[in-house]
Structure 1
C-alpha cells in the first residue's frame, strides 16, 4: 500500500513537471552556473551555445545578441552593442558575420571572421508578450566571455629600480607583453654590435645581483607563445661608479694636474735663468798670436834668419840658445811639433 502511494506520487510529479518548466523564464549558456569563456584566434569562427525557456502563454517577438565591454552587471539590465537582432539595428562591424540557430528553444549564435575588436562579453535576450499585450523581456545573467588568442605584442622591458644605477647595486629587468594565451617563453639578449646580440638567459625577469660597469649597454627580450613571438624595443642600462670612488678619482686628478703645472712652471723659470746668465758672460778677445799661426812658412823662415844677429840681452841669449839646441829625435819632433811652432813664432815677435 505504501509503495503504491509512492508510485502514484511520482507519476503526478512527472505529469506536472512540463507545466512547471513552461512557466519559467530562463537563458542558459554552455556553463550554467558561471560565465562561459571561449578563446578564439583572429580570422576564425566561434560558436556561442545558448538555450532559453519562457511561459507557454507568451509569444516571442524579438531575439537579440549584444556585447558589452568592461564591468557588466549580471542582473538582467545589461545593454550594449547589437550583434544580432531579429527586428532591430546591429553594430555595423557585425553585419554579415553572424549565423543564428533559430530552432525551437535554441538561441546559439555563430560569429565568423573573429577580430580583435570582438573581445568582450556576449549576452542573449528575448522579448515576448501574451494575451494582455504586456511586453516582457529576459536577459541571460552569466553571458559568454570571448577572448581573442594572439601572438605576443606590445613587448617592452621595464627596469627596476631605474635604468641608471651605481656599480654593485641590484637591478631587475622585466619583460611585459600582451598575449593570449600568455607567453610561455621569455629570452633575454644584450646588444653586442649593430647586428649581433648576446643571449643572456630565459625567464620573465633577468636580475643583476651586483651589477658591474661591463653590464652597461642595450637589452631586449623576446616573448613567445604557440601563435608566435615578438621582440621588445631596446632598453639602455647605465652603470656609474660610486660617489666615494668618484671623489677619490677627482682628488687624484686634481693632484696630478697641480703637480704637472708646478713642474712645467719650474722648468720654465730655470730655463729663463739659464738664458739670462749666458747673455751676461763677457766675450773673451781672440789673441793676436792666433793670426801669427796663419802666416806663410816663407815669412817664418825669413824671420828666423834675421834673428841670427848678436844678442846682448841675457834673456834673449838664453832663449836663442834654446832655439839652436840640437834637433830632437823624429818621434819627439813629431810630438812637440806644435810647441816648436809656437816657439818660433814667439822668437819672431821678440826680434821685432
Structure 2
C-alpha cells in the first residue's frame, strides 16, 4: 500500500498514521511538558507506546523500542493519557514531569496491530529543556543578564535559553530580595552597587525562578590562625559569594603607616614574611553588579630582638667613685623576657635587668660590656661598649 510523508507526521492512504502536534518543543527545567500526536489504523491497535531513540541498548542494538514507562531513567516522571484504553484512532499524550536537562531528546510514538508495526522509524517531536549556559548562573532555564546602562545604573534582562513553545513572549516577574517588585516583559533597571539581590520568573511559572544576581559579599582570611612570626609563610585570601561570578580581585595595603598600595589577584602571598610587612590589608571584589570590600586586617608580624646596643649614663668622662648606669636597648615585637650582661673578658655579670647600675664604680670596672636580650621568638647579643674609668685625685 503506498504511503506519504507529512511535515507533522507520517501516514498512508487513511489506514496508518502518526501525526505529531508539534515537531519541536522548548520547556523550562523543572516544569511539565505534554507531547501529543494523533494516530490511526484500520485495524485493532496493539501495544502502543512512547519511546526515545536515545534510551537504551535494547533499542540501539536490536531496534526494539522500549516503553518509556519501563525505562529506569523516567520512572515516576512519565505517563500516557488513556494508556490502557487505546482506540482504533485518536490522540495520544505523553506527559513528562519535573523536566531535567537530560530529558532533552527526540520522542516518538509507535503502535502495532496484528498485521504490522507503525511509526517507530519516522521522526517524532524534539524536546529541548533549557538548562545551565555559559558563565551566567541559570536555574529552571532562566538567566538574568547584567549589562551597563546610564551612569550609576545596570540593566537586568531575564532570558530563557530558547523560545518557550507555550509562551514565546512571556511577561516576567521581578523579585528584589525575594519580594515581588514589578511585572515587565524585561529589561529592568537597578542602581550599580545596590546591596539587594534580584531574580526573575516567567509569569505563570513563578515557582521556577532564576538564581538571584547580586554584587560580591567579600571576606578575607589568613592562612595561619595563630601569631604571625617573621620568616614564616603567610597567605591572605580574598573570597566572595557573588552572582555573576567575580571578575577581579584587588588587594589594598598600607605597611607601617605608609601610603596605600594595590595589587591584583585573589591571594597575597608572603613566602618569608618580614616585620616590614606589618600594616593594614583589605581586598575588593568586583562583578557586573558592583564592587564590595572586605574588612581590614591589622597584621602585626612578631619577631625576636633586633639592633641591640648598650648606652651609658651619664655620658662623657666617667670618674672613679661615681654612679654609672648601662642600658640595654633594641627592637623587638613581643616584649623581651630576659636580659643578660657580660664583660668582654668572659665574665658573666649577675644582674638580669635591662639596666645595669654601678653605685660606686672603680677602676677595676673598666672594660667592654655587652648585653643579651631574649623573647619567645629569639635572642640576640648587642654590640659592645667600652667603659674607661678615670682615677680620682685628692
Considering the TM-score relative to the shorter chain, is it more than 0.5?
A: no
Q: Normalising TM by the smaller chain, what interval?
A: 0.3 to 0.5
Q: TM-score, normalised by structure 1?
A: 0.43
- The structure richer in helix per residue is 1
Larger radius of gyration: 1
Q: TM-score, normalised by structure 2?
A: 0.40
- The structure richer in strand per residue is 2
